[in-house]
Amino acid sequence: MSSSPAGSLSNTIEEVTKHHTSAVIEAYTSSGDTFLRIEKESLLAVCSWLKEEHDFVYLADIVGADRFTSDERFEVIYNLLSLKNQCRLFVKVRCDEDAPSLESVTGIWPGANWKEREVYDMFGIRFENHPDLRRMYLPEDFQYYPLRKEFPLLGVPGSIPLPNTTPDAD
Amino acid sequence: MGIESALGEGYLTSRVDALVNWARANAAWPMPMGLACCAIEMMAFAGPKYDAARFGSEVMRFSPRQSDVMIVAGWCTYKMSHAVRRIWDQMPDPKWCIAMGACASTGGMHRSYGVVQGVDNFLPVDAYISGCPPRPDAVLHALMKIQDKIKTEHSVLLDA
Ligand code: SF4
Q: What is the mean pLDDT of chain B?
A: 88
Asked whether residue A81 is domain-assigned, the answer is yes
Asked if B93 has any chain A CB less than 8 Å from its own CB, the reply is no
Average pLDDT, rounded, for chain A: 88
* Total number of domains constituting chain A: 1
Closest-CA residue of chain B to A137? B79
Check whether B160 has a pLDDT greater than 70: no
d(CA B123, CA B89) in angstroms, rounded, equals 10
CA B17 to chain centre: 20
CATH of the domain at A61: 3.30.460.80
Instruction: Catalogue all structural domains in chain B, each as residue range(s) with its CATH number.
Output: 30-55+63-159 (3.40.50.12280)
Q: For A39, which DSSP code?
A: -
Asked if pLDDT for residue A4 goes beyond 70, the answer is no
Instruction: Tell if the CB–CB gap between A139 and B89 is shorter than 8 Å.
Output: no
Establish if A132 belongs to a structural domain.
no
Q: Which residue of A has its CA nearest to B84?
A: A163
Nearest in space to B35 (alpha carbons), one of B70, B73, B86, B62: B73
Cβ of residue B118 lying under 6 Å from some atom of ligand 1: no
The predicted pLDDT at position B18 comes to 86
A27 by Cβ neighbours in 10 Å (0-12 / 13-18 / 19+) ranks as middle
Task: Give the three-state DSSP class for B18.
Answer: helix
Q: Which candidate, B48, B84, B74, places its Cα nearest to that of B133?
A: B74
Q: Round to whole Å and give the CA distance between B58 and B47.
A: 10
Distances B88 to A107, B31, B122 between C-alpha atoms, Å: 44, 9, 10
Q: What is the pLDDT of residue A125?
A: 93
User: How far apart are alpha carbons B71 and B140 in whole angstroms?
Assistant: 11
* Residue A96: domain span: 5-105
pLDDT grade for A2, boundaries at 50, 70 and 90: very low
Q: Does residue A38 carry a pLDDT above 90? A: yes
Interstrand relation of A58-66 and A74-82 (parallel, antiparallel or unpaired): antiparallel
B88-131 pLDDT per residue, tens: 999 998 899 999 999 999 988 998 888 999 999 999 999 999 99
> Is A159 a domain residue?
no
pLDDT tens profile A59-97 = 999 999 999 998 999 999 999 999 998 999 999 999 998
Does residue A67 belong to any structural domain of this protein? yes
The verdict on A83 touching B (C-beta cutoff 8 Å) is no
Domain assignment of residue A93, yes or no: yes
Residue A135 placed within a domain? no
A169 in contact with chain B, both atoms CB, cutoff 8 A: no
Beta-carbon-side half-sphere exposure of residue B75 (alpha carbons within 13 Å): 18
Indicate yes or no: CB of B78 within 8 angstroms of CB of A146: no
**Rounded distance between C-alpha atoms, residue B123 and residue B148, angstroms:** 20
Count other C-beta atoms under 10 Å from residue A116's C-beta.
25
Query: Hey, how many other C-beta atoms are within 10 angstroms of the C-beta on A92?
Result: 17
**For testing contact with chain A, the best of B75, B78, B109, B110 (most A CBs within 10 A):** B78
| Closest chain A residue to the Cα of B124, Cα to Cα | A165
Decide if A143 touches B, using CB distance below 8 A: no
Please check whether residue A162 lies inside any domain of the structure: no
Q: Report the residue from A137, A151, A165 with minimal CB separation from B122.
A: A165
Which atom of ligand 1 is nearest to B101's Cα? Answer: 1
Half-sphere exposure of B34 (CA within 13 A, CB side): 16
Let me know: does A146 contact A155? Beta carbons within 8 Å: yes
Exposure string for A61-88, b = 16+ CB within 10 A, e = fewer: ebbbebeeeeeebbbbbbbbbbeebebb
Nearest CA to ligand 1 atom 5: B74
List of residues 6+ apart from B66 with CB closer than 8 A: B29
Å between A154 CA and nearest CA of chain B: 4
B116 to chain A, any CB pair closer than 8 A? The answer is: yes
Whether B157 lines ligand 1, by a CB cut-off of 6 Å, is no
Give the ipTM: 0.72
Strands (E), A70-147: 74-82, 87-95, 101-103, 126-128
Q: Is residue A155 part of a domain?
A: no
Separation CA A133–CA A126 (nearest Å): 8
Q: Give the per-residue pLDDT at B155.
A: 67
How far is Cα B68 from Cα B97, in angstroms, rounded to an integer? 8
Ligand 1 contact, B42 CB (< 6 A)? no
Cα–Cα distance for residue pair B104/B119, rounded to 1 Å: 5
Looking at ligand 1, which atom is closest to the CA of residue B75? 5
* Residue B34 CA to ligand 1 centre (angstroms): 11
Identify any residues that bridge with B100 across adjacent strands, giving them in sequence order: B73, B129
**What integer pLDDT is reported at residue A164 of this predicted model?**
81
